[in-house]
Amino acid sequence: MLKGVDLVAPRGHVVSLIGSSGSGKSTLLRCCNLLEDSQQGEIRFEGEAVQWKGQGLARHPADRAQVTRIRTNLSMVFQQFNLWAHLTVLQNVMEAPVTVLKRDPKEVEVKAREYLAKVGIAEKADAWPAQLSGGQQQRAAIARALCMEPRALLFDEPTSALDPELEQEVVRVIKALADEGRTMILVTHDMKLAADCSDHVIFLHQGRIEEEGPPRHPVRRPEK
Same domain, 140 and 32: no
Structural domain ending residue among the three candidates 150, 168, 183: 150
Structural domain ending residue among the three candidates 150, 175, 198: 150
CA distances, 19 to each of 2, 6, 101, 117, 210 (Å): 13, 16, 35, 33, 9
Same domain, 201 and 217: yes
Q: What pLDDT is stored for residue 219 in this prediction?
A: 53
Q: Tell whether 132 is covered by a domain.
A: yes
Q: Tell whether 18 is covered by a domain.
A: yes
Q: Tell whether 19 is covered by a domain.
A: yes
Q: What pLDDT is stored for residue 153 in this prediction?
A: 97
Q: Tell whether 78 is covered by a domain.
A: no
Q: What pLDDT is stored for residue 41 in this prediction?
A: 92
Same domain, 118 and 132: yes
Structural domain ending residue among the three candidates 150, 167, 202: 150
Number of domains in the chain: 2
Same domain, 179 and 166: yes
Q: Tell whether 187 is covered by a domain.
A: yes
CA distances, 108 to each of 44, 90, 130, 173, 174 (Å): 29, 10, 23, 21, 22
Same domain, 146 and 158: no
**CA 128, chain centre distance (Å):** 23
Q: What pLDDT is stored for residue 224 in this prediction?
A: 47
Same domain, 160 and 61: yes
Same domain, 144 and 34: no
224 residues of the chain, pLDDT tens digit each: 888 899 999 999 999 999 998 999 999 999 999 999 999 999 999 999 999 999 999 999 999 999 999 999 999 999 888 899 999 999 999 999 999 999 999 999 999 999 999 999 999 999 999 999 999 999 999 999 999 999 999 999 998 888 888 889 999 999 999 999 999 999 998 888 898 899 999 999 999 999 999 887 655 555 44
Residue-range definition of the domain harbouring residue 93: 83-150
